Structure 1
């Protein structure tokens, strides 16, 4: 019996073949950037974060097809026929890397893609995993440190310029402008975190997605509700008792859930430990950006919102 992914790939392959036979391009969710013409660079980006980076670097010279939609878990995704057709037609595919998109290689093979694949994580110093198969490549949540994003966007800019040399100067200018925004974000994050008393800079999060952020801004990680980088993992009864005990003994003042994850377990642990739980549609953004119009709609907005939420909760300030 075919797996769900295999069925998706087979269906998509048939769509691509049919579209090619008819001489059409088929249906795509790609939306041209303002001013992008018929010869715009065709880019497929996997996650909400790398799609946002690609839009900032590509500007009006690129058309971006974003595979993952807001609040969709990237750890366990099954591509649609439209996604695979978009890859078949693309000039460049941008991925986060670090094992996050385990489904992508099969999709690329099924689509018959022969263009450039950009691993945005190249050059980023990775946090090690816990030795499990799921975390074998390391911690994939590299975007939670803006300095890592500076490396990721350089990788994207180089690939765009190599594939579309006529517009290389535009990509370079876009990179410089976004790089300045990342520097400003990083400095502002550090200033805000530094305003929290040192003995209150302790985090319990919904899952282990904020390691790069914690290291960058010198916070103390007490534990996570989900004991893994993978959001599908679950806590045992003993692990729940252990995390409650750690919260009580370390003086943690708040637990942070995520906008894309059910808050039920976090809220139960918060009640048991007697601490505040930040859990709503506008709580922390971990694996995904928010939908258009939300406080996490872009990377810069998301990281600013996360920092403001963390600082307010750790200071005990009402939202």
Structure 2
């Protein structure tokens, strides 16, 4: 725990939520950027540094799947030079909002170049024919594999350099420095899971948000309380009983709740399955980051938190 606490403290200064505080440059000289999600906004801040003014649309612990833009969002987009999105269909509301704002600047899809997962992680090859519309979707939670986060950062660096060529060298250096931190996060995660026996690496979460993470660190995804990539689906009675049975059959030790979703259903399933619920301050960051100004309010801190919580719970 002490080691993880040191790591989280070391990354606390790497980003935050909401609008940027004033930096060393006059605000009027900064590149105005709108970023949709907390993760993307954190990437933009780390690459742009004091040379960008970032407006983050979706605040911490707000479900991005059901987000409805506000008049302030439309105004911010209309005044921006660059809009950066996660992509992969996560921001279904964005195109209409951009049109309403009359925005004609650069729209950056940070997912370009990422190898996408098709359908929900719960749909194995033998289930693909019955997956329905879910099989036609791609999993948008790409940032949970740090290798994908590096691709997103590279896309953002190129876009900022294109929009403000005079600061290109600075953006390139910032991106390189931040990418090194992402590499360390990835290696630390690998080292943490290497200490956990393969038979204990079984994951049950609120919804199917951790497919890329599961694949990166060779976990077994047992199931999710909400059987979907987004959060609008509901667990049927049969799916509930099947999940409880699967948790028991596989010897899964815990159900992990997520910071942006209510824990009630997870708690009920855990009680039926006879396993512990991991929530509260230990809830995972599936769709969001933590509060601004905290270590978990950054991408690096949130991902380090997730790994620490999962490893500690499954090792116990």
User: TM-score if structure 2 supplies the norm length?
Assistant: 0.88
CA distance in structure 1 between the partners assigned to 2:76 and 2:133 by the alignment: 30
The CA deviation at 1:136 is 3.7
Residue 104 (structure 2) aligns with: 114
Question: Is 1:31 aligned to 2:59, yes or no?
Answer: no
- Does structure 2 conserve the Cα–Cα contact (< 8 Å) formed by 1:289 and 1:299? yes
SS at match of 2:229: coil
Task: For residues 248-267 of structure 1, give each alpha carbon's deviation from its aligned partner in whole angstroms, at most 9, with x where no partner exists.
Answer: 00010111111111111111
SS at match of 1:31: coil
Which residues of 2 match residues 85-104 of structure 1 at below 5 A? 85-104=75-94
Determine which structure has greater relative contact order: mean sequence separation of CA pairs < 8 Å that are 6+ residues apart, divided by chain length.
2
Which residues of 2 match residues 280-291 of structure 1 at below 5 A? 280-291=280-291
The CA deviation at 1:33 is 5.0
CA gap 1:32/1:90 in 2 versus in 1, 3 angstroms: farther
Number of aligned positions between the proteins: 288
Question: Is 1:204 aligned to 2:193, yes or no?
Answer: no
CA distance in structure 2 between the partners assigned to 1:135 and 1:161 by the alignment: 36
Which residues of 2 match residues 8-27 of structure 1 at below 5 A? none
CA distance in structure 2 between the partners assigned to 1:163 and 1:208 by the alignment: 35
Residue 247 (structure 1) aligns with: 247
CA distance in structure 2 between the partners assigned to 1:253 and 1:282 by the alignment: 15
CA gap 1:245/1:78 in 2 versus in 1, 3 angstroms: same
- Does structure 2 conserve the Cα–Cα contact (< 8 Å) formed by 1:289 and 1:297? yes
CA distance in structure 2 between the partners assigned to 1:265 and 1:36 by the alignment: 48
The CA deviation at 1:198 is 1.1
The CA deviation at 1:103 is 0.2
Residue 7 (structure 2) aligns with: none
- Does structure 2 conserve the Cα–Cα contact (< 8 Å) formed by 1:91 and 1:116? yes
Based on CA coordinates, which of the two structures has the bigger radius of gyration?
A: 1
User: TM-score if structure 1 supplies the norm length?
Assistant: 0.88
Which residues of 2 match residues 1-319 of structure 1 at below 5 A? 30-32=19-21, 34-37=23-26, 38-130=28-120, 132-133=132-133, 136-316=136-316
Task: For residues 39-76 of structure 1, give each alpha carbon's deviation from its aligned partner in whole angstroms, at most 9, with x where no partner exists.
Answer: 21000000000000000001010000000000101001
- Does structure 2 conserve the Cα–Cα contact (< 8 Å) formed by 1:40 and 1:61? yes
Residue 9 (structure 2) aligns with: none
CA distance in structure 1 between the partners assigned to 2:24 and 2:286 by the alignment: 32
SS at match of 1:285: coil
RMSD of the TM alignment (CA)? Answer: 1.3
CA distance in structure 2 between the partners assigned to 1:164 and 1:202 by the alignment: 46
- Does structure 2 conserve the Cα–Cα contact (< 8 Å) formed by 1:57 and 1:171? yes
Does 268-277 or 177-186 show the bigger shift?
268-277
Structure 2 residue ranges without an equivalent (≥5): 1-17, 121-130
Residue 25 (structure 1) aligns with: none
CA gap 1:135/1:114 in 2 versus in 1, 3 angstroms: farther
- Does structure 2 conserve the Cα–Cα contact (< 8 Å) formed by 1:32 and 1:64? no
Task: For residues 183-213 of structure 1, give each alpha carbon's deviation from its aligned partner in whole angstroms, at most 9, with x where no partner exists.
Answer: 0000000000111111101111110000000
SS at match of 2:87: coil
The CA deviation at 1:135 is 6.5
SS at match of 1:78: coil
CA gap 1:282/1:294 in 2 versus in 1, 3 angstroms: farther
